[in-house]
């Protein structure tokens, strides 16, 4: 009886807290700012975790398989795993809130990183492949965390909120690849293969991120946003406003945002995956590979603050076009760069990261614009599943293309694929203009 009464009182307390938030825009803004701080800290940790697989995943597979044509498999697998992770985190978040969903995703990713370490020690390829799938859940969660900051953001704050979450990833993502040598030596000192060393860092980072989110992401921003939306809907019905009839999902806007993120993900993953192998074939050291990848990841996240402002100020579609042009430039430079030219490879991978940044933030903003809280987390998770699957395809095919043709062919193909973003945007603008004309 005492347990039931305590649970009942706890439920009443939660209901009272939600009522206070729904009636106080000031409390909503305070929670918005607090959520951003929690997300920022978890993103720093998540960035360090994801950098391990990006930097040495292909090299570890090449070493264990003994064949460069399999080098794209790790990226494909942990990206495929991130698809499952995105679906799981999206479902959990929609039903129970961001806190349990994101914490579970990072925990699974940490477990996967531990599995990679054990498989390297045992030289067990089957265990490696399975572990990479679980490791991918951390990658998905790191990306899905960006949505948590937008739950209580206004339409004019969304680009900035996404960018703050993403720029935080820069700190961990930049440090991760630059610690490859240090973690490799540490791993060897405890009888673990050097290439598995970065996954020790990944495991610690993902487990800590899970703990931070579980302990501090309270009250849950998505649950508060849902309560605010429900109150607004009831108020609109009382006042007989048509706003209450707005659908929870704008399918065309979701399609546009998803297409933008899918194309940018394919291009980025394909070229990035094979760059370490391409550099290794031309005599570059592991430290040089780590530097190039760290610059690439920095370019993926560090410009986010500026990108977020541009997305809010000049619009989503303008930044989508910028993404296509930048990715084309990246592919062209990578294709034409001599294999031994470190500066040219740095430039190509920096442009690749920047183009991905433009595409991801503008696409994310389009998804948030096109959904209401009652369907937002589930839709976001579903879209990120598509993004992850496209990345898995890009990673898997990249090794085959390079083995069958060349790194230049892969780079040129990726650059021209990015040009598809421009007709997609033109189609979207044409539809919007036609719809406006019909309504006027």
For residues 283 and 379, give the distance between their C-alpha atoms in angstroms, rounded to a whole number. Answer: 45
CB atoms within 10 A of CB 271: 27
- The strand ranges marked E within 42-125 are none
For residues 440 and 435, give the distance between their C-alpha atoms in angstroms, rounded to a whole number. Answer: 9
Output helix, strand, coil percentages for the chain, rounded to the nearest 5. 85, 0, 10
Give me the mean pLDDT over the 284-297 stretch.
Answer: 82
pLDDT tens, position by position, 155-167: 677 777 878 877 7
Does residue 390 surpass a pLDDT of 70?
Answer: yes
Instruction: Check: CB of residue 248 under 8 Å from CB of residue 372.
Output: yes
Give me the mean pLDDT over the 398-424 stretch.
Answer: 88
Supply the CATH classification number for the domain 22-432. Answer: 1.20.1250.20
Lowest mean pLDDT among 134-143, 151-160, 271-280: 151-160
pLDDT reported for residue 268 = 93
Dihedrals phi, psi of 371, to nearest 5 degrees: -135, 150
Does residue 49 surpass a pLDDT of 60?
Answer: yes
Domains of the chain, residue spans: 22-432
Q: What is the pTM of this model?
A: 0.72
Does residue 436 surpass a pLDDT of 50?
Answer: no
For residues 434 and 242, give the distance between their C-alpha atoms in angstroms, rounded to a whole number. Answer: 22
What's the mean pLDDT when you consider all of the chain? 81
Give me the mean pLDDT over the 261-284 stretch.
Answer: 88
For residues 334 and 296, give the distance between their C-alpha atoms in angstroms, rounded to a whole number. Answer: 13
Does residue 248 surpass a pLDDT of 70?
Answer: no
């Amino acid at each position: 009886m005492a347990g039931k009464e305590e649970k009942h009182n706890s439920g009443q307390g939660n209901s009272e807290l939600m009522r206070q938030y729904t009636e106080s825009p000031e409390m909503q803004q305070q929670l918005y700012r607090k959520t951003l701080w929690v997300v920022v800290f978890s993103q720093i940790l998540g960035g360090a975790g994801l950098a391990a697989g990006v930097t040495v995943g292909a090299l570890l597979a090449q070493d264990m398989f003994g064949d460069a044509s399999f080098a794209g498999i790790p990226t494909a697998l942990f990206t495929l795993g991130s698809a499952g992770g995105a679906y799981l985190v999206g479902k959990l978040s929609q039903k129970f809130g961001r806190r349990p969903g994101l914490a579970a995703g990072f925990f699974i990713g940490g477990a996967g990183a531990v599995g990679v370490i054990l498989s390297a020690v045992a030289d067990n390829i089957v265990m490696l492949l399975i572990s990479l799938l679980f490791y991918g859940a951390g990658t998905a969660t790191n990306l899905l965390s960006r949505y948590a900051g937008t739950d209580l953001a206004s339409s004019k704050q969304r680009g900035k909120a996404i960018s703050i979450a993403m720029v935080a990833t820069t700190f961990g993502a930049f440090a991760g690849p630059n610690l490859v040598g240090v973690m490799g030596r540490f791993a060897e000192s405890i009888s673990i293969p050097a290439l598995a060393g970065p996954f020790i860092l990944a495991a610690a980072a993902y487990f800590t991120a899970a703990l931070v989110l579980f302990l501090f992401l309270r009250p849950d921003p998505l649950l508060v946003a849902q309560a605010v939306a429900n109150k607004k809907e009831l108020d609109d019905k009382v006042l007989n406003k048509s706003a209450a009839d707005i659908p929870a999902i704008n399918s065309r806007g979701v399609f546009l945002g998803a297409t933008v993120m899918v194309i940018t993900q394919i291009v980025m993953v394909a070229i990035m995956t094979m760059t370490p192998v391409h550099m290794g074939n031309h005599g570059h050291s592991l430290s040089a590979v780590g530097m190039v990848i760290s610059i690439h990841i920095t370019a993926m996240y560090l410009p986010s603050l500026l990108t977020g402002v541009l997305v809010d100020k000049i619009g989503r579609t303008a930044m989508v076009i910028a993404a296509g042009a930048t990715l084309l430039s990246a592919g062209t430079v990578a294709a034409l760069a001599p294999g031994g030219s470190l500066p040219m490879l740095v430039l190509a991978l920096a442009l690749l990261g920047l183009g991905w940044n433009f595409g991801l933030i503008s696409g994310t903003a389009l998804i948030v614009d096109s959904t209401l809280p009652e369907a937002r987390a589930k839709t976001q998770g579903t879209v990120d599943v598509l993004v992850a699957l496209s990345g898995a395809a890009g990673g898997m095919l990249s090794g085959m293309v390079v083995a069958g043709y060349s790194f230049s062919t892969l780079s040129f193909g990726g650059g021209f694929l990015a040009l598809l973003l421009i007709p997609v945007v033109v189609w979207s603008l044409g539809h919007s203009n036609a719809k406006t004309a019909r309504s006027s």
